[in-house]
Amino acid sequence: MNYHSKLNTCISGQNLISVDQALNLILDTIQPLDIENINLSDALSRYLAKSVYSKVNLPFFPQSSVDGYALYCDSNIEVGTKFKLIGEIRAGQTTELKLQTGQAVRIFTGAKIPEGTTTVAAQEMVQHVDSKNIIVLENLELHTNIRDIGEEISAGECLGRQGDKLSIGGIAALSMAGIHQVTVYKYPKVVVVITGDEVSESVLDLASGKIFDANSPLIYTWFSQRNQQVTIHHVEDNKEDLKVLLNNLSQNYDLILTTGGVSVGDYDFIRPVALDLGFKQIFWKVKQKPGKPMLFAEFKKANQSACYLLGLPGNPAAVYVGMQIYTECLLSSLQGQKTQPKWFQAEICHDLVGDTRERFLRMVAHFEQAKLTVKSLNKQHSHMISNLMQANCIVRIPPNTNVAAGQLVQGIFI
């Protein structure tokens, strides 16, 4: 039986697939979106679809690296050497001045050095004799404090490779080279559906069995942190209302992210409604804790583009784990990055008793004597998220495995 046959058996039967199998199915299923040209200023957190090359040298011209004085001398300069001031150059200015032996120009950081300059003396290394003459207070070697043409980047050099994710620093680096537009993968159109009758907006409702909604702000801010906005719908546990909503959303979005309603309860309608609408189930139920009853499905539109559905359980800890691992994987795959999460390795500080399912535990990671260590937090149940105030990572604990203090474990930073 081949790999996919085994997975199909697991999916159709009572067995659960593993975390790695679920992630591989996402990677195998997703088709990347088209590419587009956008302004660099709008490209934060986007993935480059084409490599970017510099069209200029950086610096474009020889510059002073300090506020000081551009000097002309045929050799290294000794303490007490006298120079005659003949002008001033600020950053952004050009000049026709050409230095001769023994001449100097007042210059500022980033300014183009005048022709004939052999050394730039920082201003604290110079003393004025009078308004027209200066002396050098320290020995200076030739070419001190001069930035050469192309010292940082040469014309034609690669600044960003296909697949690179644009960070704030990356945008600054491209902007410095005069890049104004980049070719990136389109960002998925994402919609969120929060299911359930139990959400309350007032403390007065809590006595009637309702609960506050943590999932909406969790998901909204998760996307905001990635410079993306999403539309969020709330729908009660009504099969017909959900069917109308999902049918409409499947035609207009690349990814539908749902919370709640994916298990086997009487009011868990996400899976049956999705299948009725023509979604193809890729997997349902993963051997993990929290988040076992997770659904991943694909809907083919008339134009052969796809809408994917990731159904997360309703408990907020399961939603948080699902966002950090599976939603992240989905979004990056849709943007051409078909890679597993980048797990770090660290030593765990204490023993852990094994569980039949792989567990994702919220922990605190820190460096101790040059080693990365992790320590588990209390309150790990799927309905509890108060420890997210302290957690900075999620650590995966293999199924049926007792973990001993000092053992290496895998995790991701959050």
Which tokens go with 401? Answer: 């495995």
Q: What is the pTM of this model?
A: 0.83
Q: How far is CA 390 from CA 222, 260, 407, 408, 411, in A?
A: 17, 26, 22, 21, 16
**What's phi and psi for 5, nearest 5 deg?**
-65, -40
Contact 19, 286 (CB under 8 A): yes
What is the mean pLDDT, run by run of 10 residues, along the chain of 414 residues?
42 74 97 97 96 96 97 96 96 90 96 96 96 96 97 96 96 96 97 79 45 84 92 92 97 97 92 98 97 97 96 94 97 95 95 95 92 92 82 95 96 95
Q: Which of 45, 51, 23, 52 is nearest to 335 (CA)?
A: 45
What local confidence, expressed as pLDDT, does residue 383 receive? Answer: 76
What local confidence, expressed as pLDDT, does residue 201 receive? Answer: 53
Give the chain's domains with CATH numbers: 17-33+185-333 (3.40.980.10), 36-54+157-183 (3.90.105), 61-145 (2.170.190.11), 342-411 (2.40.340.10)
What local confidence, expressed as pLDDT, does residue 263 receive? Answer: 92
Q: How far is CA 188 from CA 33, 253, 257, 307, 327, in A?
A: 7, 8, 12, 10, 12
What local confidence, expressed as pLDDT, does residue 203 receive? Answer: 41
